[in-house]
């Protein structure tokens, strides 16, 4: 049998056959062209086993090459802004664009060289590129992450430290059931709250299992919240990586796992939706092993894989037991001093119409009590008037690892802010880097006012501060040099008359997220011609803005010259129509293309080719040196001896 024929049957290259078969006892020779038929049949019969072994050898070779490559990588430190293009990253890092694009694709991110990516995305691929990235502020200085909490805990006397509840974060791909799992755990059964696979707010709650409290941080599951999810990972002790049994490892699964790795969090894999007919747990474990290098415990590894159905509440108790088991191994780090002054991290922030600014804070050390004075960056921001637990019921105090809602703030705070009990400067309107008004004033000033740049003006109103930040980051990513989404104004709460007037003046659309519009405001918007759109899914908001931006992009007509023909004869002439004969000089002639008439080496007129014949046959194309008949339509008539140039025209829609 011919080696090429055998290779075709086995779906492998002849060279690979010659390379691998001798390793399995089939010595066919390095330059063999043919192989004994009986030997060929033995190979075909044993091919399933041989193919697996060949694949293992290929994998081992690839791993060795990657390991060798890593040995030779010289780590380069670079500083980058929060948002930059792939091209800019290439220049800063001195890495070829195609290498960066390849690494992005490996992580499920399909970008062009001019597409904007954020700091978190660069961080995800930095290790593979041999980079150590640091965030750079707009004035060029390095942004140093706040390590205040670590410093506070280091100063604590070990005798005062007691074990606190573990804090758990759930991460994973959109629609894999993160929110339904959290709802199943707290037995609220509000699975429909995970609208379109994205959680709208950040919150937290506690459950009790075997007499031990467990705190869950409800972080969002959409890429727009990458920064918030990273912050969530920093304050968590154990992560749950959720993967759907009917869908497998997806791009955001990989992204979430890398965040877990970077935070050095112990984790459990929750394989969800095992109730579905399409569920294949073994396939999921294989993907975890191949794509993420996660070896399940029952495969000889050290990662617990819990099989659950959040919808049917199957396996939830076993998952909680696994969490306690992992937390027990981390017991030495789960310590806090309940007698100290309280310090905690903001995990939700919004403004209530009656109560004013409200923040949900996870207490990480000390005990927060009603009446405590609160500071942020040494600035007084209010006094605790009331504390609510995760059921929004009044409590007197909140101990370490307890999520609590604080009422009594004088100003809005941001997700990720560290709040302390103490006394600080009394400033009526503290000028903070990340207040809502300051964020978007700065943003508007940085948007180019170049008259050639088209803009979609929008006003954003939301019920939660974190959502505004997420929308802002997502819009920043889709802005281009030609078209930009310009945030004219943003704020918390329902849409007001002032918002409508501002929208009318600036020709803006008002986009509301998880808020309501009164009948009076709706009427005012109709009368003034202002468009108001309400959303409960961030995907939809971003996509609608993107569509508005796309509609402003000019469609270009691209013209490509395909051939020339010399006119030899005019067969028929009617008003605006002719049938002519000619010979193709170069290139080719194609049906339904544009004709330019060249007379005495000068452009004379333009028309359309509507039909093409060779002899009596209708054809789609006539090649060089062929004679053909052309049906021409145009205002100006063709003459014998004219040269016709043919052009294909295609509409090019510039994508954002």
How is residue 528 written in tokens? 């003034």
Count how many Cα atoms sit within 13 Å of the Cα of residue 610 in the half-sphere of its side chain: 9
Instruction: Give me the helix-helix angle, 465-478 and 436-446, nearest 10°.
Output: 10
Q: Which CATH architecture has domain 556-653?
A: Beta Barrel (2.40)
CB 405 within 8 A of CB 413: no
pLDDT, tens only, 22-53: 888 887 777 778 888 888 888 888 888 888 78
Collapsed DSSP state (helix, strand, coil) of residue 14: helix
pLDDT at residue 570 in the model: 95
**What stretch(es) of the chain map to CATH 3.40.50.10050?**
436-551
pLDDT at residue 434 in the model: 41
- Taking alpha carbons only, the member of 640, 635, 630, 632 closest to residue 576 is 635
Q: Consecutive sets of 10 residues in the chain, 656 residues long: mean pLDDT of each?
A: 84 83 79 82 85 78 69 74 85 87 76 77 80 67 51 77 91 80 70 40 76 81 42 72 92 81 87 93 92 89 93 92 92 90 85 79 93 90 91 89 91 80 70 39 41 86 75 81 86 84 90 89 91 87 89 80 95 93 95 93 92 92 93 94 92 69
- Taking alpha carbons only, the member of 30, 11, 34, 35 closest to residue 20 is 30
CA 289 distance to own-chain centroid: 23
- pTM of the predicted structure, to 2 decimals: 0.55
CATH topology of domain 336-421: Elongation Factor Tu (Ef-tu); domain 3 (2.40.30)
How far is Cα 485 from Cα 472, in angstroms, rounded to an integer? Answer: 10
CB 551 within 8 A of CB 648: no
Q: Which CATH architecture has domain 436-551?
A: 3-Layer(aba) Sandwich (3.40)
pLDDT, tens only, 417-467: 789 999 888 755 444 444 333 333 334 333 345 667 888 999 998 877 667
How far is Cα 573 from Cα 575, in angstroms, rounded to an integer? Answer: 7
Residue 154's region, left for phi above 0, alpha for psi from -120 to 50, else beta, is alpha
Collapsed DSSP state (helix, strand, coil) of residue 383: strand
Residue position matching structure tokens 């942020």: 376
How far is Cα 535 from Cα 98, in angstroms, rounded to an integer? Answer: 37
How is residue 266 written in tokens? 């112990």
The number of beta carbons lying within 10 Å of the beta carbon of residue 573 is 13
pLDDT at residue 194 in the model: 40
CB 252 within 8 A of CB 182: no
pLDDT at residue 420 in the model: 92
CATH code of the domain occupying 163-331: 3.40.50.300
**What stretch(es) of the chain map to CATH 2.40.30.10?**
336-421, 556-653
How is residue 558 written in tokens? 């691209």
Per DSSP bridges, beta strands 373-376 and 602-614 are unpaired
Residue position matching structure tokens 């300051």: 438
CB 592 within 8 A of CB 610: yes
Burial class (CB in 10 A: 0-12, 13-18, 19+), 483: buried
pLDDT at residue 429 in the model: 47
pLDDT at residue 223 in the model: 43
How far is Cα 315 from Cα 327, in angstroms, rounded to an integer? Answer: 18
pLDDT at residue 64 in the model: 75
């Amino acid at each position: 049998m011919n080696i090429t024929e055998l290779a075709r049957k086995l779906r492998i290259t002849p060279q690979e056959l010659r390379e691998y078969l001798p390793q399995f006892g089939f010595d066919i020779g390095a330059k063999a062209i043919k192989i004994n038929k009986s030997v060929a049949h033995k190979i075909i019969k044993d091919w399933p086993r041989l193919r697996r072994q060949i694949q293992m050898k290929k994998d081992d070779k690839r791993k060795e090459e990657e390991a060798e490559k890593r040995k030779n990588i010289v780590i380069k430190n670079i500083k980058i802004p929060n948002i930059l293009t792939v091209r800019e990253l290439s220049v800063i890092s001195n890495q070829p664009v195609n290498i960066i694009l390849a690494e992005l694709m490996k992580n499920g991110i399909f970008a062009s060289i001019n597409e904007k990516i954020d700091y978190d995305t660069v961080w995800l691929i930095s290790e593979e590129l041999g980079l150590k990235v640091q965030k750079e502020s707009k004035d060029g200085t390095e942004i140093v992450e706040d390590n205040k909490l670590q410093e506070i805990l280091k100063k604590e006397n070990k005798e005062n430290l007691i074990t606190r509840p573990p804090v758990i974060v759930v991460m994973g791909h959109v629609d894999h059931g993160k929110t339904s799992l959290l709802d199943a755990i707290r037995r609220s059964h509000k699975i429909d709250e995970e609208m379109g696979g994205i959680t709208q707010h950040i919150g937290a709650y506690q459950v009790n299992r075997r007499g031990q409290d467990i705190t869950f941080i409800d972080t969002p599951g959409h890429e727009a919240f990458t920064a918030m999810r990273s912050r969530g990972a920093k304050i968590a002790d154990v992560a749950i990586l959720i993967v759907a049994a009917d869908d497998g490892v997806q791009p955001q699964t990989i992204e979430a796992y890398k965040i877990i790795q970077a935070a050095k969090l112990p984790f459990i894999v929750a394989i969800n939706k095992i109730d579905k007919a399409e569920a294949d747990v073994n396939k999921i474990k294989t993907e975890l092993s191949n794509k993420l290098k996660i070896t399940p415990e029952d495969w000889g590894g050290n990662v617990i894989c819990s099989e659950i159905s959040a919808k049917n509440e199957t396996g939830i108790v076993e998952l909680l037991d696994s969490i306690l088991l992992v937390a027990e191994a981390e017991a030495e780090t789960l310590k806090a001093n309940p007698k100290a002054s309280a310090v905690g991290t903001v995990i939700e922030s919004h403004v209530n119409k009656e109560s004013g600014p409200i923040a949900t804070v996870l207490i990480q050390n000390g005990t927060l009590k009603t009446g405590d004075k609160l500071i942020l960056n040494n600035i007084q921001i209010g006094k605790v008037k009331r504390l609510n637990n995760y059921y929004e019921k009044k409590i007197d105090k909140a101990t370490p690892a307890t999520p609590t809602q604080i009422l009594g703030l004088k100003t809005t705070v941001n997700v990720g802010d560290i709040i302390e009990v103490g006394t600080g400067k009394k400033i009526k309107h503290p000028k903070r880097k990340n207040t809502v008004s300051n964020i978007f004033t700065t943003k508007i000033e940085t948007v180019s006012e170049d008259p050639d740049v088209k803009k979609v003006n929008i006003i954003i109103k939301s019920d939660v501060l974190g959502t505004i930040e997420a929308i802002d980051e997502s819009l920043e990513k889709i802005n281009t040099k030609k078209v930009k989404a310009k945030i004219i104004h943003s704020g918390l709460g329902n849409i007001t008359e002032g918002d409508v007037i501002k929208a009318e003046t600036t020709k803006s659309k008002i986009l509301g997220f998880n808020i309501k519009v009164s009948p009076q405001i709706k009427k005012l918007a109709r009368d003034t011609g202002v468009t108001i759109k309400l959303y409960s899914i961030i995907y939809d908001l971003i996509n609608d803005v993107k569509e508005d931006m796309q509609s402003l992009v000019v469609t270009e007509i691209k013209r490509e010259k395909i051939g020339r023909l010399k006119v030899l004869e005019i067969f028929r002439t009617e008003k605006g129509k002719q049938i002519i004969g000619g010979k193709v000089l170069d290139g080719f002639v194609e049906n339904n293309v544009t004709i330019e008439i060249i007379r005495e080496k000068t452009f004379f007129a333009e028309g359309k080719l509507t039909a093409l014949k060779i002899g009596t046959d209708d054809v789609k194309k006539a090649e060089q040196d062929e004679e053909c008949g052309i049906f021409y339509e145009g205002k100006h008539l063709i003459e014998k001896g004219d040269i016709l140039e043919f052009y294909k025209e295609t509409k090019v829609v510039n994508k954002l």
